[in-house]
Amino acid sequence: MPELIPLISQQEIKEKIREIGQNITRDYKGLDLVVVGVLKGAFVFLADLVRQISIDHEIDLLGASSYEGTSSTGQIVFTKRPDLELKGRDVLLVEDIVDTGRTLAKTVESMQLLNPRSIKICALIDKTERREAQINVDYSCFCIDGGFIVGYGLDYNEKYRNLPAIFNLKL
């Protein structure tokens, strides 16, 4: 039976998202912000984050998937493309986690083809141990070394996304 070890509490998540939301609000004043959440994992974080951004902005979604169990297959499959016109606009990609960095590297590459004015990255978790692609996370809520984490949108074989806090999964 997998074991769940508490890592980041609901309260810590709430406080950090409020702070990051204020920073985004300040930095994007006067810009044409489109917040693009990367499904599936980012759906919980995205919903909480946009409610802490107090300037006008639009929201879109893209889908990217590459994990089987705790390992990246290395093959990023885009399951959904954004619907909004992004040309000339200020895109903020919202991810639940940056691990190897492969998903975001491919995602940024594909978003650049749509000619936005700017692309920045906001991640709930910046996990550094397995990083392979050079990714600059502009807004990071929590930085951790390693482990496989679940909860608050993050899954293991599609389970545990509903947990309200973040846990280390021990198999």
Ligand X SMILES: O=P(O)(O)OC[C@H]1O[C@H](OP(=O)(O)OP(=O)(O)O)[C@H](O)[C@@H]1O
Ligand Y SMILES: Nc1nc2[nH]cnc2c(=O)[nH]1
Annotated active-site positions, please? 99
Give the footprint of ligand X on residues 27-66 (CB under 6 A): 38, 40-41, 64-66
Of the residues 8, 92, 97, 121, which one makes contact with ligand X according to CB under 6 A: 97
86 binds ligand X per the rule CB under 6 A = no
Report what 102 binds from ligand X, ligand Y, none; CB cut-off 5-8 Å by kind: ligand X
- 72 exposed, middle or buried (CB, 10 Å; 0-12, 13-18, 19+)? middle
Backbone angles phi, psi at 139, to 5 degrees: -130, 110
Q: Which residues bind ligand Y (CB under 6 A)?
A: 67, 97, 99, 127, 148-150, 154-156
Contacts of residue 24, defined as CB under 8 A and 6 or more positions apart, other chains included, come to: 33, 49, 53, 92, 122, 139
The helix (run of H) or strand (run of E) holding residue 14 is helix 10-27
99 binds ligand X per the rule CB under 6 A = yes
Neighbours of 118 (CB within 10 A): 14
CA-nearest of 77, 11, 2 to 48 is 11
70 binds ligand X per the rule CB under 6 A = no
98 binds ligand X per the rule CB under 6 A = yes
Of the residues 96, 122, 149, 160, which one makes contact with ligand X according to CB under 6 A: 96
Residues near ligand X (CB under 6 A): 38, 40-41, 64-67, 72, 95-103, 155
